[in-house]
Amino acid sequence: MSRESIITIMKEAVSDKTLQLIAQKVISKERITTDEGVYLFNHAELGYLGALANYIREDRHGNKTYFNKNFHIEPTNICVFECKFCAYSKFLREKEDFDAWELSEEDIFEAIKAYDDKDITEVHIVGGVHPKMGLEYFKNLISKIKEIRPDLHVKAFTAVELDYMARKAKVSYKECLQILKDAGQGSLPGGGAEIFDASIREQICKDKCTGEQWLEMHEAAHSVGMPSNATILYGHVEEAEHLIDHMNRLRELQDKTGGFNAFIPLKFRNGNNQMSHIKEVSIIEDLKMYAIARIFLDNFNHMKAYWPMIGRKTTQLLLSFGVNDIDGTVDDSTKIYTMAGAEEQKPVMTTEQMIALINDVNRQPIERDSVYNELRDYSENELV
């Protein structure tokens, strides 16, 4: 859709002058303010948001929709922290529970070796914050993984895990990340961000690192040449102001470093956790969250829908609400969201299934690596 066409549509379909002004700013590539971001949450209808977010998505990426070939390793769900939304973690004293686990190094290396003959480009390593697994342990683990599979990109550790490692090893964030980078780590995932606002963190995850520390960790990663992703946990006790404040802090850091690859909204799931009394938000609210994120985060190139969390059908819808990336094949190797009641209880898709999911909504499937270099175009006439 051309710039002129969408401006005309917005003028004819939207009577709200503020929404007209926001649309004109976005189409003209002008940054919207935090007040305007909150206004979108409180006043904009879904059709308006979808049209504007999809315009941005297609202006930047056309029909291209990215995915990668990856798998997860979760070394343990033993954790020193108690996040109320978490259905995953266990305290050390609960390590004998049937649903607690603590992989040995050999278990992890065997998991890597199981992919020796498979076309996989990334391993994603996150887990609980185990009191006995520190910086030295993970440095050696990554070094060994790179010996086993030198070409494998290692995306590892949330800022929460890294904060604990650095404090326990008595090194700065930057020193911690440089040690891991030297061992072979390539990037950081975006987990642990939740909501940056201190009052919200006090309610849902008061004993983990602060929002300011999360941002400091990612800034340190960018300073040593390690790119990262960013997330938000939405749909629980927060208000629109908290969502926009969170995204604004990310936008400001991205202005400063340019080190974020993608933004991933993560939906709160209420299964088997201390916040199960809170009703999950509707699919309408999901679509709004992603669309507003695409509109507000003008300096983030990629918007990702993590399909094991949000589900395949919603992921397809989101490709018209600003999303241009659907993560990877995953290969049934993550439990973080399945234990909290996500739709995907066995999160695995083959390459062919990923391609079909994208093709079915008339988008162009592109395999990427972990930092968005295009590896292969799987358009319909090029299917394997």
Q: What is the pLDDT of residue 214?
A: 97
Tokens for 356, please give them: 């079909």
Its sign, for the CA torsion 23, 29, 30, 34, is positive
pLDDT at 1: 63
Per-residue pLDDT of the chain (384 residues; tens, 9 = 90+): 667 767 676 766 688 999 999 999 999 999 999 999 999 999 999 999 999 999 999 999 999 999 999 998 988 877 766 667 665 554 444 444 546 667 888 999 999 999 988 889 999 999 877 677 789 999 999 999 999 999 999 999 999 999 999 999 999 999 999 999 999 999 999 999 999 999 999 999 888 899 999 999 999 999 999 999 999 999 999 999 999 999 999 999 999 999 999 999 999 987 767 788 889 999 999 999 999 999 999 999 999 999 988 999 999 999 999 999 999 987 633 444 344 344 544 567 888 999 999 999 999 999 999 999 999 999 865 544
Tell the burial category of 125 from Cβ atoms under 10 Å away from its Cβ (0-12, 13-18, 19+).
Answer: buried
pTM of the model: 0.90
Instruction: Give the strands of the sheet with 325-328, arranged side by side.
Output: 325-328, 64-68, 364-368, 374-377
Q: Are 327 and 304 in contact (CB under 8 A)?
A: yes
DSSP annotation of 211: H
Burial label for 84, CB within 10 Å (0-12, 13-18, 19+), is middle
First to last CA, the chain: 31
| 362 secondary structure, DSSP code | T
Helix (H) or strand (E) holding 153: strand 153-156
Dump pLDDT digits (tens) for 221-242: 999 999 999 999 999 999 999 9
CA–CA distance, 296 with 243 (Å, rounded to integer): 11
Q: Residue 339 has what pLDDT?
A: 42
Provide the pLDDT for residue 333.
39
**In the chain, where the domains are located:** 3-60, 66-382
φ/ψ of residue 78, rounded to 5: -70, 130
- Would you say 151 and 122 are in contact if contact means Cβ atoms under 8 Å apart? no
Chain centre to alpha carbon of residue 212: 18
Q: By C-alpha distance, which of 88, 102, 129, 89 is closest to 339?
A: 88
Which tokens sit at 195? 């909501």
φ and ψ at 311, to 5 degrees?
95, 155
Superfamily, domain 66-382:
Aldolase class I (3.20.20.70)
Check residue 12 and give its pLDDT.
65
What letter does residue 340 receive in the DSSP assignment? G
Other beta carbons within 10 Å of 105: 12
Question: CB–CB of 307/315 below 8 Å?
Answer: yes
Tokens of residue 86, six digits:
């978490």
